[in-house]
Amino acid sequence: MAARIPALVNPPLLVWAREEAGYSLETAAERTGFAVEKLHAWETDEAKPTLRQAQALAKYYHRPFGVFFLPQPPSLPPLAAEYRHLPGIQPGVESPELRLAIRVMSQRREIALQLSGEMGTPVTDFSASVRLAERPVDAGRRLRSILGVTSQEQLDWRDEWQAWRRWREAVESAGVLVFQFPKVSLNQVRGVSLLRFPLPAIGINSKETSAGARSFTLLHELAHIALAGGQEEQVAQMETRDETMWKEVERFAEEVASAALVPEENLSGFLTRMSVPQDGWNLALVRKLAGAFRVTPLAMATRLRSSGVLTWEGYRRWKQEWDAYVATLKPRGGGFATPVEKALSRGGQPFAQLVLEALDANRITAVDASRYLDLRFDHVEALRHELRHGLGGRSSVGDDGE
Sign of CA dihedral 316, 322, 326, 332: negative
Model pLDDT, residue 161? 95
Length of the chain in residues, anyone?
A: 402
d(CA 23, CA 182): 18
- pLDDT of 336-378, one tens digit each? 789 999 999 999 999 999 999 999 999 999 999 999 999 999 9
Cis before 74 (ω within 30): no
The C-alpha angle with vertex 305 and arms to 161 and 286, in degrees rounded to 5, equals 45
Is the pTM of the predicted complex or chain greater than 0.75?
yes
- pLDDT of 109-146, one tens digit each? 999 999 999 999 999 999 899 999 999 999 999 999 99
Burial status of residue 377 (CB atoms within 10 A of its CB: 0-12, 13-18, 19 or more)? middle
- pLDDT of 288-345, one tens digit each? 999 999 999 999 999 999 999 999 999 999 999 999 999 998 876 656 789 999 999 9
- pLDDT of 265-300, one tens digit each? 899 999 999 999 999 999 999 999 999 999 999 999
Model pLDDT, residue 285? 96
d(CA 374, CA 343): 7
| DSSP label of 332 | P
Is there a contact between 160 and 184 (Cβ–Cβ < 8 Å)?
Answer: no
- pLDDT of 193-217, one tens digit each? 999 999 999 999 999 989 999 999 9
Model pLDDT, residue 396? 45
How many CB atoms sit inside 10 A of residue 185's CB?
Answer: 11
State the distance between the two ends of the chain, measured CA to CA, in whole angstroms.
37
d(CA 399, CA 389): 16
Model pLDDT, residue 397? 45
Q: Say whether pLDDT at 231 is over 70.
A: yes
- Confidence label for 3 from pLDDT (cuts 50, 70 and 90): low
State residue 195 phi and psi, 5-degree precision: -90, 65
- Confidence label for 394 from pLDDT (cuts 50, 70 and 90): very low
